[in-house]
């Protein structure tokens, strides 16, 4: 597999972290601060990154960097136009019910595939790690984290965003699949949503108290 260039790694980092300063970029990518600044400047000149100065405590403002629309476009929707056209055709020719059946079948197949991949997982964290890898391979740039006693499953990109905007049943199906995968002992709640114009989709996974 071809190794990503520093610029590609930097774009990916900004996609996942939304906004960073040069010092944090340097630390995350194991490069000098000056090297990070040079890469950021080049990406800014190319129109892929934008800079905003912010005050952080006492002292001079810091420069923070984030992706522009052109930078975000480097993480494209998968066959967006064709997918939306096909969904519209199914809806117009066969009706809304046929579209629901189509998405339900996709949901079922996806769940069965994920369940098979996760069935030997020894713990919730093992499940999260495996699911992150699967979803990342599918283009979701997924990761997970833990805060206090709660876990968060994070998708930094949606490769089917156009389809999801055209039919939000895709998003409902995704949430239902995650709930089934983690089991009844957990409550899965979407706390951030790309379709709500947020930078990523975040799912909070909370262990329920035993009755």
Helix ranges, the chain (H): 6-17, 22-28, 33-45, 69-72, 80-94, 96-118, 124-137, 161-166, 169-182
Predicted confidence at residue 90, as pLDDT, reads: 75
Q: Round to whole Å and give the CA distance between 95 and 91.
A: 4
Domain ranges in the chain are: 6-72, 80-207
Q: Round to whole Å and give the CA distance between 159 and 164.
A: 10
* Phi and psi, residue 5, nearest 5°: -70, 165
Predicted confidence at residue 81, as pLDDT, reads: 64
- pLDDT < 70: residue spans in the chain: 1-4, 56-59, 76-84, 211
Predicted confidence at residue 68, as pLDDT, reads: 84
Q: Cβ(187)–Cβ(206) under 8 Å?
A: yes
- 6-72 folds as Arc Repressor Mutant, subunit A (1.10.10)
Predicted confidence at residue 2, as pLDDT, reads: 53
Q: Cβ(29)–Cβ(6) under 8 Å?
A: yes
Predicted confidence at residue 78, as pLDDT, reads: 61
Predicted confidence at residue 31, as pLDDT, reads: 87
pTM above 0.85, yes or no: no
Predicted confidence at residue 87, as pLDDT, reads: 74
What CATH number labels 80-207? 3.30.1380
Predicted confidence at residue 177, as pLDDT, reads: 93
């Amino acid at each position: 597999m071809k190794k990503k260039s520093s610029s590609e790694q930097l774009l990916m980092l900004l996609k996942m972290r939304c906004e960073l300063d040069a010092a944090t970029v340097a630390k995350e990518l194991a490069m000098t601060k000056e090297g990070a600044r040079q890469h950021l400047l080049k990406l800014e000149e190319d129109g892929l990154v934008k800079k905003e100065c912010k005050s952080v405590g006492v002292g001079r403002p810091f420069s923070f960097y984030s992706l522009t629309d052109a930078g975000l476009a480097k993480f494209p929707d998968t066959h967006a136009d064709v997918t939306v056209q096909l969904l519209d055709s199914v809806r117009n020719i066969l009706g809304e019910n046929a579209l629901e059946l189509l998405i339900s079948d996709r949901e079922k197949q996806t769940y069965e595939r994920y369940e098979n991949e996760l069935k030997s997982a020894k713990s919730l964290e093992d499940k999260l790690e495996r699911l992150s890898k699967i979803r990342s391979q599918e283009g979701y740039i997924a990761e997970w984290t833990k805060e206090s006693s709660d876990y968060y499953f994070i998708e930094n990109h949606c490769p089917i965003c156009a389809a999801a905007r055209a039919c939000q049943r895709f998003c409902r199906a995704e949430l239902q699949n995650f709930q089934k995968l983690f089991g009844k002992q957990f409550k899965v709640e979407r706390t951030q949503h790309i379709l709500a114009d947020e930078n990523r989709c975040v799912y909070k996974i909370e262990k329920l108290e035993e009755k």
